[in-house]
Amino acid sequence: MTVWYEVVLGITFVAGTMWLIKTVYGWRRFRKSIQTELYSGFLEYCVRKRKIRSLSESYYLNSVFGKHRIIYQLTQSKHEKTPQSYVLIILTSGLYILNVRNQSGKILARKNGDFKQNYDGHEYLFKNPVKESRYFEKRLREKMAKMDFPVRLLVVFPESCELQWEGEVIREVPVIHRKQLIQWMKKDYEDNHGILQEAQIDRLFETIAEESIEAEKMGRTAMELLIGQKNDKKLHFED
């Protein structure tokens, strides 16, 4: 009995340690992500993340906006090595397309041309996310040609970066920090609440997420699907 007790105790200790490491790693990723603005906390996100339909709802957003849906998308043109992350939030005030960035340092935004990033003494250029977002919207509307819905585009940067504009500001597409997101959406929601009916929200969600939901039925989790999208040609955007 003593030997088996020690074996079981050892297995339990190893499993517990692995679970703790995985949880701490997940928490660190969560607190640096856009999900901190969308869900009530890490526990809710962990419970929901394994199913697309579950992940598409949030206790926090429900308390602020009522009926809603959240959809995660990755897109990648054939010339790009790194996929771009988008979060789509559907409310009764419309469809919000968030171009989610992870650059830190000093960001110089420009109406035309690439954005600039100054980080640790080095300068980098990256594609204009406003133009990327407009292209994403265009392709989404082409896919859903039979459905009419209002769209708001937003570019969302982490709090760790400093945002500045060079020249004219693109006011029709807000470029904001993550902590500004819900406040901006609240104001727009108050101004446009009722444009979409609850049934339209569900219909939009089912249409946009249809391929991912079907793939999920084959045994892939919501987060595995999100990661796997970068290898799915159906979700790639060709230039």
User: Would you state the pLDDT for residue 171?
Assistant: 86
Residue 38 vs residues 61, 185, 228, 238: alpha-carbon distances, Å: 6, 12, 22, 30
Backbone angles phi, psi at 49, to 5 degrees: -70, -15
User: Would you state the pLDDT for residue 213?
Assistant: 83
User: Would you state the pLDDT for residue 25?
Assistant: 55
| Among candidate residues 80, 180, 97, the one with its CA nearest the CA of residue 134 | 97
User: Would you state the pLDDT for residue 234?
Assistant: 38
User: Would you state the pLDDT for residue 20?
Assistant: 52
User: Would you state the pLDDT for residue 144?
Assistant: 87
Our measurement of the distance from residue 174's CA atom to the centroid of its chain's CA atoms, rounded to an integer in Å, reads 16
User: Would you state the pLDDT for residue 210?
Assistant: 87
User: Would you state the pLDDT for residue 97?
Assistant: 97
Instruction: Take residue 103 and report the two structure tokens written for it.
Output: 């650059």
User: Would you state the pLDDT for residue 19?
Assistant: 47
Instruction: Give the dihedral of Cα atoms 179, 185, 191, 195; nearest 10 deg.
Output: 180
The residue whose two tokens read 């954005």 is 115
pLDDT, averaged per 10 consecutive residues of the chain (239 residues), comes to 57 55 61 91 90 94 97 80 89 97 92 91 92 93 87 94 89 93 96 94 93 75 50 37
User: Would you state the pLDDT for residue 238?
Assistant: 33
User: Would you state the pLDDT for residue 105?
Assistant: 92
User: Would you state the pLDDT for residue 81?
Assistant: 73
- The residues pairing with 165 across neighbouring beta strands, listed in sequence order, are 109
10 Å CB burial of residue 18 (0-12, 13-18, 19+) is exposed
